[in-house]
A and B are shown apart, each in its own frame.
Chain A
Amino acid sequence: MARIGVFICWCGENIARNVDVERVATAAGEWPGVRCSLAYKYMCSDPGQSLIREQIRDRQLDAVVVASCSPHMHLRTFRKAAEREGVNPYLVEMANIREHCSWVHSSREEATAKAIDLVRMAVAKVRRDRALEPIRIPVTRRALVIGGGVAGIQAALDIADGGCDVVLVEREPSIGGKMAGLSETFPTLDCSQCILTPRMVDVAQHPRVKLYTYSEVEAVRGYVGNFSVTIRRKARHVDLDKCTGCGQCWNACPSKKSLSEFDFGMGTRTAIYVPFPQAVPARPVIDETACLRFTKGKCGLCAKKCQAGAIRFDDREEHVVEEVGAVVVATGYRLYDIGKRETESRTAGYGEYGYGRYKDVIDTLQFERIVSASGPTGGEIRRPSDGREPKSVVFVSCVGSRDNAKGLSYCSKICCMVVAKHTMLYKHKVHDGQAHVFYMDIRAGGKNYEEFVRRAIEQDGARYHRGRVSKITEENGKLIVRGVDTLAGEPLTIEADLVVLAGAMCPSEGVRELAQKLNVGYDEFGFLSESHPKLRPVETNAAGVFVCGACQGPKDIPEAVAQASAVAGKVLGMFSRDQLAREPEVARIQEATCAACFTCVRACPYGAIEKAEIRDRQGQLVKRTARINPGLCMGCGTCVAVCPSKNVDLEGFSEQQIYAMVESLV
């Protein structure tokens, strides 16, 4: 029989006004197992806690019930107090006689009766509590960062500078992400590459960073502190160790017609190529779909030219396994593909804008390349169709964003600023040109953002028309943009040489599959779900998995970087401990009697239950069973409810305890 102490708090007048605390204490004192039952003015105060500790010592209590406020308020307080006297903290229960009783019932009689019931339930529960030890999990002090854009680079650098090893995985041949392709950044108009490329070099040369480019995460196993990640290194056909990046190969390559991914199709590249001159690593990769050696079985000029002998036509993709303790997802975004690629019919709108049909209708990322000094036009603004300088450019914002009828419901957040920046960059290069903008609202929340938009309008003369574009057609080499100016209240037609559509920000391709591998939730658009939008903005509900950058939601560079540094702080905090301690209130399976139906395996939202086999010493199969991984289990108890044979139970909320609580109500 447990030796239980019951402590009733007055909470000053808060409880004592409506509940006869002395009567509750007297009633509780009579129940079996209750060795002492006392009321005191403020249990949570120092003297109150001392009283509890003193009683634990004097009466050798091994379980404690405190009847006071909500357990969300003070359960931890009382658990700590009891622990200091050697009572297992999980043998402390609370009865909520304030929020759930004295504050909501005015009849003293009824409130007192209810308080007695609540205390009785807590006593019934604590009697069946088991002493639990926090689950301790070893930590591998090494982080995996998925995605080598600006967010991933920042997270990797911050973690590595903090003294922990980082594995950085990037899908493309070079790190840098979308930011590497931008011309200049708002609101300062400083050169994007000038900011980013030194960081790219830093991360590649950092002794604590292991870089995998042209690689993807294939599988993730394990749990917080102990992930085992399989990385697929795609066949690069170039030996990274031997290659010097001299450029002989791509200068010799006869296959020159492939569209450059880095230029978003605005330029071409060879079959063996580096995506852009400042690529990290500055080593080429062979595109098997374009290389004549692979498509036709001949050529091999690059191998002949290569003095280092780095070309490997027989290179195969390989799998590498890395052990890490935390995973950071920084997979970024792609642009909404304005009616070209979106598979869902609901979001496949905007065919009327002619994107993909008219060469001179492009998106904002393509415009970035045209205006960029390192772009296919060398920074001169020339339209794709005939290479002429456009004298009139129409920018259309919210293409895909904020459109429930044809697009996505959310605001992509950066487009207003991107469009304002583009009108300025355009005006700075084409002085006699005119920029027009069709917009729904101008959302320029941010430091110096509103001023930036005002500058675009007032200094650089961009004409802003509040309204949507209904149709874009091509006539005699001109694009006819038909829209409406809702402020003037009349239709508006503009003849343009170039149209730039500000496509919405969407999560990168493949992010849902990745999220499933990591057990991270995502919303209907594929943006990854943070654990709490305000208080846990970079954690996810999968312990040890963090998110930063645009994979979590549309955001600009400063926000992505801030989030990445936040992640690094969280990861380093986690790595600062030898072991991770977790609440032990998790599910427990009686493996000896488990019928191995695996209903729980299917029901578990965390993938914390696995199919296991019990074998004897000779290795003979004794039986199959479901097995809880305490590192992954979050203690929701869904498995308990679905188990047909009731062989799984939840520590702290066991079947016995809940039944006993209900029974105690009689």
Chain B
Amino acid sequence: MNAVGSTQYAVGSTEPSAAKQRVSPLPLGEGTETFRPKIVAYVCNWCTYLGADLAGTNRLEYPANVRIIRLPCTGRIDFNLIVKAFEMGADAVLVSGCHPGDCHYTAGNYHARRRWMLFRELLDTLGIETDRVHFTWISAAEGRKWQQVITEITEKTRQLGPYSAYREIVSSQGNGLPSPVGRERGRG
């Protein structure tokens, strides 16, 4: 993993703060066979969330590594959220919404797709392996697909190992974690 200059992260990084101490990453069982990857899934409320519900209703078992964050629409997902998840110790991130043409809000998933195309180009620059960010469409009827996607991502992430690049970048700066992107608006 190539170290990345601090300039990309320089947003409001002067804050010393208790917030940063709170942020120290604690991966589960890092580096051992018991490595259990942390996967954050940003899903839309109308398709993928219901797809995951259906997986539950059908008792389709999958690894317990995923933590779902429900959002109204994938169009709401700005890529700072993905970076934030990595900052907080996620080993992989999944973004999943409605199939093209099925968006509850007409076009949000197209916005998400367009953003994803651009974002993928940026991942390398940010020092995040593209293998760790997943983008997919799962409809409310695709419980089985949800099961498969989560199983595959977990397996893949297990093979990749814990995501340490972010912390390496940070330690190379020698002053703790950089201020996370978007932190400046965390007032109140």
In the assembled complex, which residues on chain B have CB atoms less than 8 Å from the CB atom of A42?
none
Residues from chain B with a CB closer than 8 A to the CB of A641 are: 75-78, 111, 115
- Could you give, for residues 639-666 of chain A, a 1 whenever the CB lies within 8 Å of some chain B CB and a 0 otherwise? 0111000100010010110110111011
Contact of A99 among B57, B63, B104, B186 (CB under 8 A): B57
* B56 surroundings in chain A (CB, below 8 A): 70, 98-101, 103-104
Residues of A within 8 A of B85 (CB): 662
B52 within 8 A of A: yes
Main secondary structure of the interface of A (DSSP, over half): helix
What is the number of residues of chain A that contact chain B, defined by CB distance less than 8 Å? 46
**CA of A387 to CA of B41 in the docked complex: distance in angstroms?**
73
> Which B residues between 164 and 188 are near A, CB-CB below 8 angstroms?
182-183, 185-186, 188
Known: A121-B69, A661-B69, A666-B88. A104 touches B55 (CB 8 A): yes
Asked if A72 lies at the interface with its beta carbon under 8 angstroms from chain B, I say yes
A99/B72 in contact, CB under 8 A: no
B49 cross-chain contacts in A, Cβ below 8 A: 70, 72
Q: Which one, A50-58, A105-113, A243-251, A478-486, is touching chain B? A: A105-113
Q: Which of B24, B59, B188 contacts A103 (CB 8 A)?
A: B59
- Which of the residues A105, A121, A637, A650 comes within 8 Å of B61, measured between beta carbons? A105
CB 8 Å contact bits of A80-105 with B (1 = contact, 0 = none) = 00000000000000001011110111
User: Contacts A99-B52, A104-B59, A662-B85: A640 and B78 contacting too (C-beta < 8 A)?
Assistant: yes
Tell whether, in the assembled complex, residue B73 and residue A104 are in contact, meaning their CB atoms are under 8 Å apart: no
Q: Which residues of A contact B25 (CB under 8 A)?
A: 666
Least distance between A265 CB and chain B CB atoms (Å): 38
User: Once bound together, how far apart are the Cα atoms of A521 and B75, in whole Å?
Assistant: 18
Size class of the contact patch on chain B: 35 or more
Is there a chain B Cβ closer than 8 Å to A605's Cβ?
yes
A114 to B147, CA, bound (A): 16
Q: Does A541 contact B (CB under 8 A)?
A: yes
CB neighbours (8 Å) of A99 from chain B are: 52-53, 55-57
Could you tell me the distance in whole angstroms from the C-beta of A77 to the nearest C-beta in chain B? 16
How long is the Cα–Cα vector from A106 to B56 in the complex, in angstroms? 12
User: Which residues of A lie under 8 Å from residue B90 when comparing CB positions?
Assistant: 662, 665
B61 contact set on A, CB distance < 8 A:
104-106
The answer on a CB contact under 8 Å between A100 and B185 is no
Taking a contact as CB atoms under 8 Å apart, the answer to whether A653 and B76 are in contact is yes
Let me know if A638 and B75 touch, CB within 8 A. yes
Question: In the complex, which residue of chain B has the Cβ closest to the Cβ of A117?
Answer: B67
Q: Which residues of A contact B64 (CB under 8 A)?
A: 101, 104-105, 107, 110-111, 113-114
Interchain CB contact (< 8 A) of A104 among B60, B67, B75, B106: B60
Q: How far is the CA of A655 from the CA of B77 in the complex (A)?
A: 10
Cα distance A650–B40 in the bound complex, in angstroms: 21
Query: In the complex, what's the smallest C-beta–C-beta distance from B12 to chain A, in angstroms?
Result: 12
Asked if B23 lies at the interface with its beta carbon under 8 angstroms from chain A, I say: yes
Report the Cα distance A62→B151, complex, angstroms: 39
Could you say which of A605, A638, A646 has the most chain B C-beta atoms within 10 Å of its C-beta?
A638
Chain A contacts for B22, CB-based, 8 A:
663, 666
Q: How far is the CA of A575 from the CA of B186 in the complex (A)?
A: 42
| Inter-chain contacts of A606 with B (CB < 8 A) | 105-106
Chain A hits for B185, CB < 8 A:
646, 655-656
Minimal Cβ-Cβ distance residue in A for B76: A637
Kindly state whether residue A636 has any CB partner on chain B within 8 Å: yes
Name A102's closest neighbour in chain B (CB-CB). B56
**In the bound complex, CA of A298 to CA of B84 (Å):** 78
Q: Which residues of A contact B77 (CB under 8 A)?
A: 641
Interface residue? A279 (CB, 8 A): no
Residue of A at shortest CB range from B62? A104
CB distance from A533 to the nearest CB of B (A): 11
Q: Tell whether, in the assembled complex, residue A638 and residue B108 are in contact, meaning their CB atoms are under 8 Å apart.
A: yes
Q: Is B50 an interface residue (CB 8 A)?
A: yes
- The 9 lowest CB-CB distance pairs between A and B, nearest first, are A99-B56, A637-B76, A636-B105, A638-B75, A641-B78, A110-B64, A103-B56, A636-B73, A105-B64
Instruction: Provide 16 A-B residue pairs closer than 8 Å at the C-beta atoms, listed in order of the A residue.
Output: A72-B50, A100-B52, A101-B56, A104-B60, A110-B36, A114-B64, A121-B67, A605-B108, A636-B108, A637-B73, A640-B76, A641-B75, A662-B40, A662-B81, A662-B84, A662-B85
Q: Which residues of B contact A (CB under 8 A)?
A: 22-26, 36, 38, 40, 49-50, 52-53, 55-57, 59-64, 67-73, 75-78, 81, 84-85, 88-90, 104-108, 111, 115, 147, 182-183, 185-186, 188
Contacts A70-B53, A541-B106, A641-B115 aside, 16 further interface pairs with beta carbons under 8 A come to A71-B70, A99-B52, A100-B56, A100-B68, A104-B55, A541-B105, A603-B75, A605-B106, A637-B71, A638-B105, A638-B111, A641-B76, A659-B81, A663-B22, A665-B38, A665-B40
